[in-house]
């Protein structure tokens, strides 16, 4: 996906998708980069207080689906009152579909969850976890209009899905207060960049109607 507009972890976190007509957050995707060195004080990610939200659409914005992924573990490194490195691990087996997003009488959230877990999408039996590893954190001069509220940093990191790693860059709200740290962000990725190609063939109109974009919103908290 050449655009990133989560976890998402997790990558995975995980993972959230947007229709092609929607304006995307100012993000980018590149090849894997060197991971930032862990230094200073290291705070453990609070898995119970962290979450990756995802959202996906069929083309044209029809039949949106959304849900969550659990953050499994991780840490954030703090130096000089700033987040300088870190990582978090996403439990892909925890993917949930919000029942409110499945309005069709002949559709069931559990069926969609099962499909997302199978080899067509995230193949969680072979890839039970995804991860995000920070490669850099820089000051954000001006936040895009559709960035997460309060965005003050540009975060880059290696996002691994299905065993493939790509570097993603997006605006984020990064806070360090007392003995806690938090990262909040929303961005959109093109799932085909990680080899998730189900529903992208124009030869099959039924499959082709599934958007390639996954919108991800991450809310990761760490504490002493």
Identify the CA nearest to 75 among candidates 48, 36, 45. 45
Domain limits for position 189: 28-223
Instruction: Copy the structure tokens of residue 185.
Output: 């962000």
Report the half-sphere exposure of 124 (CA within 13 A, side-chain side). Answer: 21
Within a domain: 95: yes
Within a domain: 129: yes
Total domains in the chain come to 1
Domain CATH code at residue 164: 2.40.128.110
Instruction: Copy the structure tokens of residue 53.
Output: 């939200």
pLDDT tens digits along 56-89: 887 666 778 999 999 999 999 999 999 999 999 9
Within a domain: 7: no
Query: Exposed e or buried b for every residue in 110-148, given b needs 16+ CB within 10 A?
Result: eebeeebbeeebbbbeebebbbbbbbbbeebeebbebbb
How far apart CA 9 and CA 13 sit, in angstroms, is 3
Residue 48, SS3 per DSSP: helix
Within a domain: 142: yes
Q: How many CB atoms lie within 10 A of CB 150?
A: 11
Identify the CA nearest to 99 among candidates 130, 66, 129, 128. 66
Within a domain: 77: yes
Within a domain: 80: yes
How far apart CA 30 and CA 157 sit, in angstroms, is 10
How far apart CA 175 and CA 78 sit, in angstroms, is 11
DSSP code of residue 222: E
Within a domain: 179: yes
Residue bearing the bigger pLDDT, 169 or 13: 169
Residue bearing the bigger pLDDT, 60 or 107: 107
Q: What is the mean pLDDT of the chain?
A: 86
Residue 90 has pLDDT above 60, yes or no: yes
**pTM of the predicted model as reported, rounded to 2 decimal places:** 0.84
Within a domain: 3: no
pLDDT tens digits along 161-173: 999 999 999 999 9
């Amino acid at each position: 996906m050449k655009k990133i507009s989560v976890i998402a972890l997790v990558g995975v976190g995980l993972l959230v998708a947007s229709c092609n007509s929607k304006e995307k957050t100012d993000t980018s995707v590149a090849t894997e980069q060197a991971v930032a060195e862990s230094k200073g004080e290291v705070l453990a990610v609070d898995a119970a207080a962290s979450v990756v939200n995802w959202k996906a659409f069929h083309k044209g914005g029809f039949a949106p689906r959304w849900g969550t992924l659990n953050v499994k573990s991780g840490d954030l490194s703090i130096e000089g009152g700033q987040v300088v490195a870190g990582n978090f691990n996403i439990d892909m087996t925890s993917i949930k579909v919000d029942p409110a997003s499945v309005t069709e009488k002949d559709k069931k959230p559990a069926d969609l969850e099962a499909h997302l877990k199978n080899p067509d999408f995230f193949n969680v039996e072979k890839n039970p976890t995804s991860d995000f590893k920070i490669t850099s954190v820089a000051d954000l001069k001006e936040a895009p209009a559709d960035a997460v509220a309060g965005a003050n940093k540009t975060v880059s990191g290696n996002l691994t899905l299905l065993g493939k790693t790509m570097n993603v860059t997006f605006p984020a709200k990064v806070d360090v207060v007392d003995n806690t740290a938090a990262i909040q962000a929303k961005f959109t990725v093109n799932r085909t960049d990680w080899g998730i190609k189900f529903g992208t063939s124009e030869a099959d109109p039924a499959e082709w109607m599934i958007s390639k974009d996954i919108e991800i919103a991450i809310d990761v908290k760490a504490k002493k």
